[in-house]
């Protein structure tokens, strides 16, 4: 089956699972080999920044979900897209959902003052980039053609 006949991007697992697995693995490492980001006396600053990041990430995710709903298409990467969403946060990044998950993930690690989960964000992002986003981009180009190509040239993948 060629990509233009493909019904969906073919994502094999929900992307939040990758972020959850990274966090869980990081916190497991943190439990057995605790390494704080900052000394305990600076923990309040981390909690403040972490809380702001969690709120910002959740807000961005909700904005992106709203944009999908307004376009009457699905947020699920294992389902077919019926519309190319280029409004709302999609004007600034082609992947506001994954960016928001990254921001929430980072906020959680700061709230916990935990180094290991923060270090595991890099492999999570590589998995998302090469096993999710790459599939989605091929699918969207096949599905929406020149419209997606133009959008891809105008808007950065992340920020």
Question: CA 43, CA 35: separation in Å to the nearest integer?
Answer: 13
Question: CA 141, CA 139: separation in Å to the nearest integer?
Answer: 5
Domain ranges of the chain: 42-75+82-159
Question: CA 23, CA 54: separation in Å to the nearest integer?
Answer: 14
- pTM of the predicted model as reported, rounded to 2 decimal places: 0.92
Is residue 36 left, alpha or beta, with left meaning phi > 0 and alpha meaning psi from -120 to 50?
A: beta
pLDDT tens-digit profile of 2-13? Answer: 444 467 787 878
Burial class (CB in 10 A: 0-12, 13-18, 19+), 126: exposed
User: Structure tokens of 29?
Assistant: 């490492």
Q: Are 91 and 150 in contact (CB under 8 A)?
A: no
pLDDT tens-digit profile of 62-72? Answer: 999 999 999 99
**What is the average pLDDT across 99-107?**
98
């Amino acid at each position: 089956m060629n990509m233009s006949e493909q019904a969906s991007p073919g994502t094999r697992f929900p992307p939040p699972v990758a972020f959850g697995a990274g966090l869980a693995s990081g916190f497991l490492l943190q439990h057995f080999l605790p390494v704080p980001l900052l000394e305990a006396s600076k923990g309040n600053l981390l909690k403040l920044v972490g809380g702001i990041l969690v709120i910002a990430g959740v807000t961005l995710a909700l904005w992106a979900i709203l944009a999908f709903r307004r376009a009457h298409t699905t947020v699920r990467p294992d389902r077919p897209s019926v519309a190319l969403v280029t409004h709302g946060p999609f004007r600034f990044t082609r992947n506001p959902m994954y960016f928001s998950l990254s921001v929430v993930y980072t906020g959680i690690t700061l709230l916990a003052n935990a180094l290991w989960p923060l270090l595991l964000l890099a492999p999570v992002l590589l998995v998302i980039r090469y096993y999710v986003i790459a599939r989605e981009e091929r699918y969207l180009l096949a599905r929406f053609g020149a419209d997606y190509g133009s959008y891809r040239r105008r808007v950065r993948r992340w920020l």
